[in-house]
Structure 1
Amino acid sequence: MSDDLLTASGIEVTYGGRRTLSGQRVDGVKVLHGVDISIRRGETIGIVGESGSGKTTLGRALLKLIDISSGSICFDGTDITHLPDTRMRPLRRRMQMIFQDPMASLNPRHTIRRILVEPLLLHGVAKDAKAAERRVSTILERVTLPQSCLDRNPHELSGGQRQRIGIARAALLEPDFVLADEIVSGLDVSTQAQVLNLLKELSTDLGLSMAFISHDLSVIRAICNRVYVMRNGLVVEEGPCDRVFADPASGYTRMLLDAIPLPEVDPEWLGRGMESDERKTPPQPSPQGGGS
């Protein structure tokens, strides 16, 4: 068995290409220009870059949420590049995404109970409604949400609570790979710490592979093993976080690091965020604890 769970080679994505009624080909806009990426089993990687660098497009391409125009994608030894939907469906449960805006990804007309129970029944993870309810109850405890949340609608929860529901929905299906796209960008520092600690715990307990998309280098440094730095649809640097942050090989990476107000990131900020939450007092964020 290969150590790599997910690999992509020469990934290109083009938006807007089409043929006119006369048959003339109109070129689209190429967003990714031959990206190579690999994610090992149990590993958490970061994908960073400024807005428009192509990081979100890359993430969606890895999950086959958008089509690629060139290249190949392999998941757990299976080439899924051109796999039809009927054959992709069994793999969907194993490849989950946590979205940046939980309000947009949670059906506003459904209760939290329905949002969490239905995927378990749809994918056959739970054999019946009672078994699904038991699983949901357990995961709510893991994400530190009260059982009373189940009978609420998404708009009745705070932003941090909705993000925990998004995490719970992904974890319930027992995936092998989770893509998290800017999931803490709209949260305060204390809530960021709680959400990131939760993801780290779930990743360890469930043996998840994760890709964490963010523009915030302090977040990537706190949670990831390796990092891919993107610019204009290309990977300009890749390597272990410790090496990339301490001695970047790319001038663009150095520019991103210099853009952090205080580039020395405090590695203990996640722990302090959790301690503050446990004491139920407002946290005192470290000046190095990079917000969004």
Structure 2
Amino acid sequence: MAENLLTATGLEVIYGGRRGVKVLHGVDIAIRRGETVGIVGESGSGKTTLGRALLRLVDVSAGSIHFDGREITHLPEAEMRPLRRRIQMIFQDPMASLNPRHTIRRILVEPLLLHGLAKNAAEAEARVAKILERVTLPAACLDRNPHELSGGQRQRIGIARAALLEPDFVLADEIVSGLDVSTQAQVLKLLKGLSVDLGLAMAFISHDLSVIRAVCDRVYVLRFGKVEEEGACAEVFANPKSDYTRILLDAIPLPEINPGWLDPKTGIEDAA
């Protein structure tokens, strides 16, 4: 069994100082190398806060986080910076994470040069051209700004930007929320294919249980900032131990998934 890449023990997050609102109440989570883990729960369950805590984007008031065997819980930002390339996030709203004043070319090329993953601009351009083909976007996109692309195209640019940096771990936060069903399937298929090809560990935050079942190996069910249930997706979905998980499953229709739907070996049609 693959070793854990990212582990968190007893995580607590309080917003507004010690007298503020506690959002996470002693959460434990482990993500193995090459594994895709779902984090699911209703609005207010703490799933996004957990994701941001794992990436050190919010401070924890208690608990510990280890990445690749190293404790990073309170690591100074100067020491976190070299790890940032290896820990990437794909945001729910690509418009919020893509600089509207920059072209797609600049958005994709600059990080490669900044992190020393390309020796020069020509090498960076070549790598960008390759990933653009991988995410099934035309080269003409490079000279456009984010607002000139569709939602599905912007989300694929976000995925491409993360993949270009050759990370070990990717956090995807509600990345298909707001996309139509066809575009959702294409984005998820793309992400699953990349995770297989690159051997990524991935945490996939979603309120959509059918998406979690299609993409993830294991799942953590959060309720009021606590882990209500966790286990292999197939087991949790077939035999939920928690009444809360059962209510979630009953409340959201779970269509039978075509096993080939997200097969990375099959083609991905271009989305508008």
Specify the TM-score bucket, using the shorter chain as the normaliser. Answer: over 0.9
Q: Indicate whether 1:96 and 2:85 are aligned.
A: no
TM-score by length of 2: 0.95
1:197-212 to 2 correspondences below 5 Å:
197-212=189-204
Q: Which has the higher contact order (CA 8 A, sep 6+)?
A: 2
Q: Which has the larger radius of gyration?
A: 1
Q: Helix, strand or coil: the match of 2:50? A: helix
Percent identical residues: 76
Aligned to 1:5: 5
Give me the whole-angstrom Cα distance separating, in 2, the residues matched to 1:271 and 1:120: 29
Show the counterpart of 2:58.
Answer: 66
Out of 100, 103, 110, the position equivalent to 1:118 is 110
Letter in 2 for 1:103: M
Residues 37 and 121 (structure 1 numbering): CA distance in 2 closer, same or farther, change over 3 Å? same
Secondary structure, counterpart of 1:81 in structure 2: coil
Alignment length, in residue pairs? 271
Amino acid at match of 2:79: R
108, 119, 125: which one aligns with 1:127: 119
Equivalence for 2:162: 170
Q: Displacement, 1:83? A: 0.6
Give 1:288's aligned residue. none
Residue 270 (structure 1) aligns with: 261
Runs of 4+ in 1 over 3 A off after TM superposition: 274-278
The 1-side partners of 2:4 and 2:81 are apart by 21
The gaps in structure 1 that reach 5 residues or longer are 18-25, 283-292
* Displacement of 1:268: 4.0
Partner SS, residue 261 of structure 2: helix
1:1-292 correspondence to structure 2 within 5 Å: 3-17=3-17, 27-261=19-253, 263-268=254-259, 270=261, 278=269
- What RMSD in Å do the two structures reach over aligned CA positions? 2.1
TM-score under structure 1 length normalisation = 0.89
Shift of the 73–271 alpha-carbon distance from structure 1 to 2, 3 Å rule, reads: closer
Cα distance in structure 2, aligned partners of 1:109 and 1:234? 40
Report the Cα distance in structure 1 between the residues aligned to 2:128 and 2:105, rounded to whole angstroms.
8
Cα offsets for 1:88-133 (capped at 9, x unmatched):
0110000000000001110000000010011111111111111111
Q: Does the 8 Å CA contact 1:222/1:267 hold for their aligned counterparts? A: no
What SS class does the counterpart of residue 266 from structure 1 fall into?
A: coil
